A = this chain, B = another copy of it.
Amino acid sequence: MDDVLSDLSARLRASLLEGLPAEALLTDPQVTASYATDMASFCAAGTPAVVVLPRTVEQVQHVMRTATALRIPVVPQGARTGLSGGANASDGCIVLSLVKMDRILEISTVDRIAVVEPGVVNAVLSRAVAERGLYYPPDPSSWEQCTIGGNIGTASGGLCCVKYGVTAEYVLGLDVVLADGRLLRTGRRTAKGVAGYDLTRLFVGSEGSLGIVVQAVLALKPAPPRQLVLAAEFPSVAAACEAVCAVMEAGLTPSLLELMDRTTVHAVNALARMGLPEATEALLLAAFDTPHAPEDLAAVAELCTAAGATAVVPAEDQAESELLLQARRTAFPALEALRPATMIDDVCVPRSRLGEMLDGTAAIARARNLLIGVCAHAGDGNTHPIVCFDPADEDETRRARESFGEIMALGLSLGGTITGEHGVGVLKKEWLARELGPVGMEMQRAVKQAFDPLGILNPGKLF
């Protein structure tokens, strides 16, 4: 058996080198092992046979033709900042890292599009378009590291979504290398287009399981004025959620509407000495990025006060606004610093049910005797309960896992989804079936079968 494997491995390497330069192929087990996982906790990962780092579409096609010929699974990867194990290697797989395909091919101010390769880092693109007076909204927490290809794979969100939506809204067209190496072009460079089924959107969020994105046409917006931020302190999470609903019901369109609970506020202060108000049960941040932002912030302030806010503090200027945003962006690392390990949930509920979701999450934390900090893209109803625990403590670890599932079950019971923006990966694949039901799962599998009949693209993810 070992002989068969090593024979296959030798054939794989030889075949790959027929269409890849030597430096694009990594085989040292110590090196390849470092490509085994993304940033999710508790997700199984295998040992890759090889890692390939192609620089051209033709090289990607060669990799896929080789994989098809030898029936070897392929796991596509970007920056491996994912939080669901979607980029974790499987045993004997080809890890196909797209990070070397990192060129911005075009930015058009008239057409408001960018054409990019998948390995472009989100922040690099964001800055490049900003220089041209344009704006690429999707801003996941990992935006300084994560790649556009990875963002497309998971349909990533961020802080901007309450006004600007998720990555999916910005993908107009794709070049995709299919499982058998053929090149498929989907979508368009135009503002509109309805020629045939929307295969573009099918690839967005497909976690590398339908094809390899090698180029993307992205829609851009004109750069808005910088955000003005307001912070409001609430005596309860429920009161803060009431304010969120009131803001949306009033017809306001904040560019950001974020909630941090007491645990998160304390964690941020502990890590970064931000001076956030520690006596508060929930801190709500609201922002606007329009010329009439001050008027809108005043309206939000009034609604927060009516919902019971104990303090409402508009930032005095850009610098103060930036500090508040920085505090929010510190929430994840701050909670991660509290205990040796964390699990990040990503449940999204209708925003009218946000209060129930967060009260229920707190009840789960109490019942399981766990430290769970919550920050939420409150305007979207998208919550990130972060379960903080010590893997060395078996009982706590068991309770952490159980709470993770209970939180997803709660989200589903409130009409929500198990994942607002992080994807399913390995972490939530049992839960996907619970959300979609048998007919939904059957049609998901039918689509997978249509694009990847041999099942070599990122097997074991999603389903």
In the complex, 20 of the A-B residue pairs with CB atoms within 8 angstroms, ordered by the A residue number, are A108-B352, A110-B249, A112-B248, A162-B191, A183-B439, A186-B440, A188-B417, A189-B350, A190-B350, A191-B379, A193-B348, A193-B417, A195-B417, A195-B436, A196-B440, A196-B462, A197-B447, A221-B253, A223-B251, A446-B451
A213 within 8 A of B: no
Q: What residues of B have a CB within 8 angstroms of the CB of A194 in the complex?
A: 154-155, 166, 205, 417, 419-424
Q: What residues of B have a CB within 8 angstroms of the CB of A450 in the complex?
A: 443, 446-447, 449-450
A385 within 8 A of B: no
Docked-complex contact B251 and A182, CB < 8 angstroms: no
A210 within 8 A of B: yes
A291 within 8 A of B: yes
Chain A, 157-172, contact with B by CB distance < 8 Å: what is the 0/1 string? 1000110001011000
Q: Quick one: given A350-B190, A439-B178, are A195 and B421 in contact (CB under 8 Å)? A: no
Tell me, in angstroms, the Cα distance from A332 to B308 when the chains sit together.
54
Docked-complex contact B190 and A349, CB < 8 angstroms: yes
Tell me, in angstroms, the Cα distance from A166 to B109 when the chains sit together.
21
Give A contacts to B, CB under 8 Å.
Answer: 108-113, 133-134, 154-155, 157, 161-162, 166, 168-169, 178, 182-186, 188-199, 201-202, 204-206, 210, 221-223, 245, 248-249, 251-253, 290-292, 348-352, 377, 379-382, 415-424, 428, 432, 435-437, 439-440, 443-444, 446-451, 462
Within 8 Å by CB of A198, from B202, B415, B451, lies B202
Q: Which 10 A-B pairs have the closest CB atoms?
A: A222-B251, A201-B201, A446-B450, A193-B417, A191-B380, A192-B420, A110-B352, A155-B194, A190-B348, A194-B205
- Chain B nearest CB: distance from A78 CB in Å? 16
Docked-complex contact B447 and A415, CB < 8 angstroms: no
The interface centre, meaning the residue of A205, A377, A449 with most chain B CB atoms within 10 A of its CB, is A205
The interface centre, meaning the residue of A161, A168, A196, A350 with most chain B CB atoms within 10 A of its CB, is A196
Docked-complex contact A352 and B111, CB < 8 angstroms: yes
Tell me, in angstroms, the Cα distance from A7 to B312 when the chains sit together.
76
Docked-complex contact A222 and B444, CB < 8 angstroms: no
The interface centre, meaning the residue of A184, A189, A222, A415 with most chain B CB atoms within 10 A of its CB, is A189
Q: What residues of B have a CB within 8 angstroms of the CB of A379 in the complex?
A: 191
Q: What residues of B have a CB within 8 angstroms of the CB of A417 in the complex?
A: 188, 190, 192-195
Q: What residues of B have a CB within 8 angstroms of the CB of A157 in the complex?
A: 192
- Chain B nearest CB: distance from A428 CB in Å? 8
Q: Quick one: given A245-B110, A292-B292, are A351 and B191 in contact (CB under 8 Å)? A: yes
Q: What residues of B have a CB within 8 angstroms of the CB of A377 in the complex?
A: 192
Given contacts A196-B205, A223-B251, 4 further A-B contacts (CB under 8 A): A185-B439, A191-B348, A192-B421, A198-B205
Docked-complex contact B437 and A185, CB < 8 angstroms: yes
Tell me, in angstroms, the Cα distance from A439 to B443 when the chains sit together.
22
Q: What residues of B have a CB within 8 angstroms of the CB of A199 in the complex?
A: 440, 443-444, 447
